[in-house]
Amino acid sequence: MKMTFRWYGSQIDPIPLKYVKQIPGMSGLMGLLDKPAGVVWEEDEIKALVDEVHAAGLEFEVVESVNVHEDIKMGLPTRDEYIANYITTIRNLAKFGVKVIVYNFMPVFDWLRTDLAREIPEDGSNSLYFNEKDLGEMGPMEIVRRTAEDSKGFTLPGWEPERLALLETTLKQYEGITPDMLRENYKYFLERVCPVCEEVGVRMACHPDDPAWPIFGLPRIAHSQEDYDKIVKLYDSPANTLCLCTGSLGSNPENDIPSIIRHFGEMDRIGAMHVRNVKYLGYRHFREAAHLSSTGDLDMFEIMKAIYDTCPDTYIRPDHGRMIWDEEGRPGYGLFDRALGACYLNGIWESLCKTYGQKG
C-alpha cells in the first residue's frame, strides 16, 4: 500500500509540499493540473509539476481529476475529438511515470453537498454535510450558487466555473439520456482509451457517484457493487479499474464497503482507494467524520483489512477531512485532519502487517 495525499499544485493549494512530505509514511501525491475538461495536459506542464513533486521527495504515480468532457458522456458527435485529446493526455502522463488516472463518468456534478462547513456539535470542528431534504428545496442553480459561496474563494474539484456556466443547457441535454445510454457512451470511451492504457502501463480508476444515489433526475451509474460489475464488464481489462472511495459509496448504508473492496480487489480491479468515514444522520442525510472508526459509521479496520487481503499494493489516500484547529482551507482538503487520517490508517496497516505478515 502506498499512502498518498491529494494536492492541487503550488499555484492554488495553500499547503506547501514540504508539509505533505513531513506527514509520516507519505509516499507521494494524488496530484492534478487545474485544467478544463477536454483539453490536452501538455508534456511541459506535466514535467514542471512532476519535477516539483520529485524535488520535494515525493512520488507522482497517481493523478486525479483528468475530467471527461460532457460531450463524451452524452455521446455527441464532437466526442471523438475530446477522446483523442484524452488519449494524448494519457500518453503524456505515462511518459512521466504516472500509473493510475482517477476520473469519473458522472453527468454534470462530480459530487454534491448541501453544506460545506457544518459544525460538528460534539467538538466544534466542521465538515461537509448532505441532507437530501435541503436539496429538494434548492434546485441545481441554487446549490451551485451556495457551493461557490461556501468555498471561501477556493476552487473546488468538479465545480469548475466553465463547466457550470452552461449548467442549465447541460441539464436539459441530459433529459432523455437513460443509465443504459450513458453506459453505452461509457463503453465507447473505454474501448478507445483502455487499449492505449494497456500499451503504456496506465490504469483508469473510476470514482463513484457522491452521494451514492441519483440526483436531480440525472443518470448516475457508479454507486453500488452491481453498477461497478457492469462497468468492469464494459471493457474487460486490468486497465479498467475503480477508485474505491469509501466515503462516496459509504454515503449509502446499504453499500457494505469491506465486502465491495474484497469483491473488486480479488478481481484486480481496484486502481486506487480514497479512505474516509461518514456519520449517518438519517435517510439520505449524513456528514463526513474523522477517520477514526468510532467517530463515524464505517469500520476502518475492516476496510484496511480488506485492502490488505485483496489489493495490498494499491494507492490510498486519506480523503476529505474535517476543518480543525481553526485551519482555513479548501473545504474537505485541509492539512491537519487529513494528516491525522493518514497516520491512523498507517497505524492500522502496521498492526495488520505485524499480525499477519508484511505486505505492500
User: Which burial class, exposed, middle or buried, applies to 8 when counting CB atoms under 10 A from its CB (0-12, 13-18, 19+)?
Assistant: buried
Phi/psi of residue 111, nearest 5 degrees: -160, 160
What are the beta bridge partners of residue 2? 315
**How near is the Cβ of 4 to Mn ion at its closest, in Å?**
12
Report if residue 244 touches Mn ion, rule: CB under 5 A: no
Our answer to whether residue 223 is catalytic in this structure is no
Our answer to whether residue 319 is catalytic in this structure is yes
Place of cell 514540504: 18
Report if residue 274 touches Mn ion, rule: CB under 5 A: yes
**How near is the Cβ of 280 to Mn ion at its closest, in Å?**
18
Closer to Mn ion at the Cβ: 182 or 245? 245
**How near is the Cβ of 29 to Mn ion at its closest, in Å?**
15
Our answer to whether residue 313 is catalytic in this structure is no
Report if residue 245 touches Mn ion, rule: CB under 5 A: yes
Contact predicate 76/40, CB 8 Å:
no
Active-site choice (227, 333, 337, 344):
333
Contact predicate 261/303, CB 8 Å:
yes
**How near is the Cβ of 274 to Mn ion at its closest, in Å?**
3
Q: Site mask, Mn ion, residues 286-325, x = CB under 5 A?
A: ---------------------------------x------
- Cα-only R_g, the chain: 19
Contact predicate 207/91, CB 8 Å:
no
Residues with Cβ < 8 Å from 80, sequence gap 6 or more?
A: none
Contact predicate 206/241, CB 8 Å:
yes
Our answer to whether residue 263 is catalytic in this structure is no
Our answer to whether residue 245 is catalytic in this structure is yes
Cβ-proximal residue to Mn ion, closest one: 245
Binding site for Mn ion (CB under 5 A): 245, 274, 319
Q: Which residues are catalytic?
A: 207, 245, 274, 319-320, 333
